[in-house]
Structure 1
Amino acid sequence: MEEQGKHRILMVSDFFYPNFGGVENHIYYLSRCLIKLGHKVVVMTHAYGNRSGVRYMTGGLKVYYVPWKPFLMQNTLPTFYGTLPIVRTILIRERISLVHGHQAFSTLCHEALMHARTMGYKVVFTDHSLYGFADVGSVHMNKVLQFTLADVSQAICVSHTSKENTVLRSGLPPERVFVIPNAVDTAVFKPAPERLSNHEIIIVVISRLVYRKGADLLVEVIPEVCRIHPNVRFIIGGDGPKRVRLEEMREKHSLQDRVDMLGAVPHAKVQSVLITGHIFLNSSLTEAFCIAILEAASCGLLTVSTRVGGVPEVLPDDMIVLAAPDPSDMVQAITKAIHLLPQIDPQAMHGRMKKLYSWHDVAKRTEIVYDRALKCSNQNLVERLPRYLSCGAWAGKLFCLVMIINFLFWRLLQLWQPDRDIEVVPNINLTNLQNGDETWDSPADES
């Protein structure tokens, strides 16, 4: 029999290891902490290269790399119904009780949540990004989000700014949206053993070199900072389409000896890059919550960042210098940060971060959301359809048609392969396994 109060959770997103980023880290660390709390967690993502099938990660985290290939920005091609058979199989095989989807522009997330609701499962959605309301792409994405969240049990956002944005975009009642911030692994991100000298100031940038991350802003800021402060050197880690512009800037201003371009930095080596610097520079133009800022602060770096999205909520005022996303304002903020450096104690900053942010705390708060989601009433398709109709005069009818076809397809699958014919996998009790005892929960133990 399943332990009282413990959940069987399926995490779903297009973004997971071996890809690196804020969403990937969030899913990985949250899953590990939930496992430590006694829950069963399984991750579902698409195949990455030859990484396909079932893999196990540290701590016993089981990952399904389904044989779907990404077609754009690590997203799978939208199929609406193509993923239903494999999602159904995983839900039954792993005896899942709740599905947790991550990231608004993950196609696999939206489809898995739709299939889970069709099959009667409770679903939770976490939004990690901010979107606008004016451009065509945002309008389309907001309508997709409205469709997904029309029937979601509970939603989570990583900042209060993100919550406001999600509520406005989706029309979801605010009382069903919770704010649970990201966290940082302070055991990994530690300051350098010895304090760095201030004779040469090193500013570190670790980011994807794309427009949204403010790479064009860096092109204008770096030469001016180097002109004003002869003792400043930049280390830039990351790759992307805007890398060419940064390299051209370095050549144009003859800054080869003052701007180091590292290229893509594996996440395992991020800490070793951060501890070589004094200041961390974040130039994002939009950000719901920046985990990179937490990692830098945990390593004892003073942060300079654009004042966008949920960034002002991340750190206390004495640990970050904020600026408008404008080159002149950014240069002034960097100058202010350089003058503040003598007051910064990296070890003290690391100690504060250990108290402010913990993945264990994030897992405990997420656990409360799961409990609330599972208490939501069960409704059949006819009772759920009015929620989709409220999404718009034409879009509402289209969403209803999509859900009705999905329901019929699910019933057809049940006739073709009944639930009882899908083999249920045994469950390893990881808590006992860590103590040296292997215990297996057989399907016969399930009531």
Structure 2
Amino acid sequence: MKHCICMVSDFFYPNTGGIENHIFTLSQHLIKQGHKVIGITHQYNDRVCVRYLSNYFKVYYVPFPCFYLEGTFPFLFCSFGIMREIFIRENVTIIHGHGAFSGLCGDSMFAGSVLGLPTVFTDHSLFGFADISSIITNKFLEFFLSDVSRVICVSYTSKENTVLRAALDPNIVNVIPNAIDSLMFSPDPTKRHPNMITIVIVSRLVLRKGADIMAAIIPIICERYPDIQFLIAGDGPKRVLIEEVREKHFLQERVQLTPGMIPHSQVRDILVQGDIFLNTSLTEAFCMAIVEAASCGLQVVSTNVGGIPEVLPNDLILLAEPNVSSLVDQLEVAITNHRSGSVMPAHVKHQRIKELYNWSSVTERTIKVYNSTSSRPGTLTIEKLQKYYNRGSIVIAIIYVLGIATAHLLLYIIEWIRPKHLIDKAASLPRQKQE
């Protein structure tokens, strides 16, 4: 069964990050297996309209501005006409949205429900329940996923979090972990310092990534172990704090900071210089950084938050509580193991990661999720109204029902103004000209 998949997210190339890399790599493997894949994201500076990436991966950069942190505001009815036009023009059979914080992803889930197209949503992050940002995000997510076909989470912890936040049926939620291209993260022991033990940190320097814990650990370890140095690759508002610690304790020669956030293509060059990888995150759904570090042969020391305990086997990672004393203790264990030579060889770690996390397996499992979906009626049915009505209090339920009813009314108007046969005719013109 071959599909035409539409990947939708605000987080996409030319930005770099975990979601961006996941979408692009998964799309490339789906194309290699004979599926058609297109993408929809918002405009990036002068990057508007249509662009073609590797293997004729067609991406629509729609003219929607960013609202907050590269995410657009959920436009709902305003984006419905554009979504419908693209879906019909490209003969889309499955809509696959990524990222709970992406307004464009939510719009695509909503449009798919109205048009009767199968929808798949992948959640890449963990969110709370108490702060204002999380409450608003969760309510939008609950609305957009009221009629979703399938949901994919990257860990079982992420699955529990998403099911609770969006009030989902656990039976429609699948767990498919992330993957890496092991060829891009191969070990190279010759790059390590011969006389020093290097602790590498590759992370955004923000509160959520435990930058305050990181700043407290550095002077403690450097004072106890004169043959330890730190290599930190990352940027963010907490970078000033790391620089202040380095200057206060006169550690300029032992704590090296890269000039800003490095591109993902250069992460391996940083990792292979290290012996130990330190992750101080306070919340993570999966954490690709520790997988990449283990693939490069580093001993991983990490907090045991979120889905991290599910990622690596116990002999490849040392887990600690998200506090300074626990992480220092585990770092000392890693340093002792390194000095005694009782660490697993780098090539063995690389081979194990290669077998555990590869894109071929992720692609096959994702295709099975696609095959389990089916088209739905594009009309407003009692069953569809019931799905939106059973979403909480009576006030919320009425708002949700009015929203889906208004969308179907808008669909009738748009179909009268712009019938499907006109879109098909317009889509066939370039192909005729090319022939």
Note whether the superposition's TM-score is higher than 0.5. Answer: yes
CA displacement, residues 240-289 of structure 1 (integer Å, 9 cap, x when unaligned): 11111111121221111111111210111111111111111111110000
- Asked if structure 2 preserves the Cα contact closer than 8 Å seen for 1:195 and 1:346, the reply is no
Aligned to 2:227: 231
Aligned to 1:10: 6
Amino acid at match of 1:19: N
Aligned to 1:344: 344
- CA-CA distance at 1:441 after TM superposition: 8.8
- Asked if structure 2 preserves the Cα contact closer than 8 Å seen for 1:204 and 1:274, the reply is yes
Aligned to 2:380: 381
CA–CA distance in 2 between the matches of 1:175 and 1:279?
39
CA–CA distance in 2 between the matches of 1:217 and 1:394?
43
| Farther off after superposition, 331-340 or 136-145 | 136-145
- Asked if structure 1 preserves the Cα contact closer than 8 Å seen for 2:116 and 2:376, the reply is no
| Farther off after superposition, 313-322 or 77-86 | 77-86
| Farther off after superposition, 403-412 or 301-310 | 403-412
Asked if 1:205 corresponds to 2:204, the answer is no
| Farther off after superposition, 322-331 or 396-405 | 396-405
> What's the Cα RMSD here?
1.9
Aligned to 1:285: 282
CA–CA distance in 2 between the matches of 1:11 and 1:405?
25
CA displacement, residues 108-138 of structure 1 (integer Å, 9 cap, x when unaligned): 1001110111111110001111112222222
- The structure 1 residue matched to 2:168, chosen from 137, 156, 172, is 172
Aligned to 2:265: 268
- The structure 1 residue matched to 2:47, chosen from 38, 48, 51, is 51
Change in CA separation of 1:197 and 1:344 when aligned onto 2, cut-off 3 Å: farther
Amino acid at match of 2:404: M
- CA-CA distance at 1:379 after TM superposition: 6.6
- The SS at the match of 2:50 is strand
Normalised to the residue count of structure 2, the TM-score between the two structures is: 0.94
Change in CA separation of 1:369 and 1:234 when aligned onto 2, cut-off 3 Å: same
1:130-145 to 2 correspondences below 5 Å: 130-145=126-141
| Residue ranges of structure 1 left out of the alignment (5+ in a row) | 428-439, 443-447
- Asked if structure 2 preserves the Cα contact closer than 8 Å seen for 1:201 and 1:231, the reply is yes
Amino acid at match of 1:310: G
- The SS at the match of 1:85 is helix
- CA-CA distance at 1:171 after TM superposition: 1.8
Amino acid at match of 2:309: P
CA–CA distance in 2 between the matches of 1:410 and 1:205?
50
- CA-CA distance at 1:59 after TM superposition: 2.4
Amino acid at match of 1:317: N
- The structure 1 residue matched to 2:15, chosen from 19, 44, 61, is 19
Aligned to 2:414: 413
- Asked if structure 1 preserves the Cα contact closer than 8 Å seen for 2:206 and 2:238, the reply is yes
| Farther off after superposition, 18-27 or 194-203 | 194-203
Aligned to 2:300: 303
Runs of 4+ in 1 over 4 A off after TM superposition: 423-427
- CA-CA distance at 1:22 after TM superposition: 1.1
CA–CA distance in 1 between the matches of 2:119 and 2:215?
43
1:424-435 to 2 correspondences below 5 Å: 425=427
- Asked if structure 2 preserves the Cα contact closer than 8 Å seen for 1:33 and 1:359, the reply is yes
Asked if 1:253 corresponds to 2:249, the answer is yes
CA–CA distance in 2 between the matches of 1:305 and 1:30?
27
Asked if 1:40 corresponds to 2:41, the answer is no
Aligned to 1:185: 181
CA–CA distance in 2 between the matches of 1:217 and 1:62?
42
- CA-CA distance at 1:25 after TM superposition: 1.1
| Residue ranges of structure 2 left out of the alignment (5+ in a row) | none
1:300-339 to 2 correspondences below 5 Å: 300-339=297-336
Aligned to 1:69: 65
- CA-CA distance at 1:11 after TM superposition: 0.5
Aligned to 2:142: 146
Normalised to the residue count of structure 1, the TM-score between the two structures is: 0.92
**Larger helix proportion of the pair:** 2
- Asked if structure 1 preserves the Cα contact closer than 8 Å seen for 2:189 and 2:272, the reply is no
CA–CA distance in 2 between the matches of 1:297 and 1:426?
49
CA displacement, residues 44-100 of structure 1 (integer Å, 9 cap, x when unaligned): 111112222211222222111111121210011332222112111110111100100
CA–CA distance in 1 between the matches of 2:288 and 2:255?
24
- The structure 1 residue matched to 2:88, chosen from 77, 92, 108, is 92
Asked if 1:360 corresponds to 2:360, the answer is yes
- The SS at the match of 1:281 is strand
- The SS at the match of 1:235 is strand
- CA-CA distance at 1:426 after TM superposition: 6.8
- CA-CA distance at 1:107 after TM superposition: 0.6
- CA-CA distance at 1:340 after TM superposition: 2.2
The percent identity for this pair of structures is 48
- The SS at the match of 2:96 is strand
- The SS at the match of 2:84 is helix
CA–CA distance in 2 between the matches of 1:113 and 1:79?
12
| Farther off after superposition, 104-113 or 405-414 | 405-414
Aligned length: 426
1:380-399 to 2 correspondences below 5 Å: 380-382=379-381, 383-392=383-392, 393-399=394-400
CA–CA distance in 2 between the matches of 1:165 and 1:98?
25
CA–CA distance in 2 between the matches of 1:32 and 1:116?
23
